[in-house]
Amino acid sequence: DTEVTQTPKHLVMGMTNKKSLKCEQHMGHRAMYWYKQKAKKPPELMFVYSYEKLSINESVPSRFSPECPNSSLLNLHLHALQPEDSALYLCASSQEGDPSAFFGQGTRLTVV
How far is the first Cα of the chain from the last one, in angstroms, to the nearest whole number?
Answer: 36
Q: Give yes or no for residue 66 binding other proteins (CB under 8 A).
A: no
Provide, rounded to whole angstroms, the least separation between the CB of residue 39 and other proteins.
Answer: 9
Q: Which of 42, 62, 69, 84 binds other proteins (CB under 8 A)?
A: 42
Burial 42-60 (b: 16+ CB within 10 A, else e): ebeebbbbbeeeeeeeeeb
Provide, rounded to whole angstroms, the least separation between the CB of residue 1 and other proteins.
Answer: 16
Q: Going by DSSP bridges, is the β-strand pair 10-13/107-111 parallel, antiparallel, or unpaired? A: parallel
Q: Going by DSSP bridges, is the β-strand pair 18-25/73-79 parallel, antiparallel, or unpaired? A: antiparallel
Q: Which of 36, 43, 76, 81 binds other proteins (CB under 8 A)?
A: 43
Q: Which of 58, 61, 110, 112 binds other proteins (CB under 8 A)?
A: 58
Instruction: Decide whether 22 or 103 has the Cβ nearer to other proteins.
Output: 103
Instruction: Decide whether 79 or 108 has the Cβ nearer to other proteins.
Output: 108
What DSSP character marks residue 9?
S
Please state, in angstroms and rounded to a whole number, the distance separating the CA atoms of residues 10 and 62: 22
Q: Which amino acid is at 100?
A: S
Chain contacts with other proteins (rule: CB under 8 A): 4, 31, 33, 42-45, 48, 50, 55-56, 58, 88, 90, 92, 94-106, 108
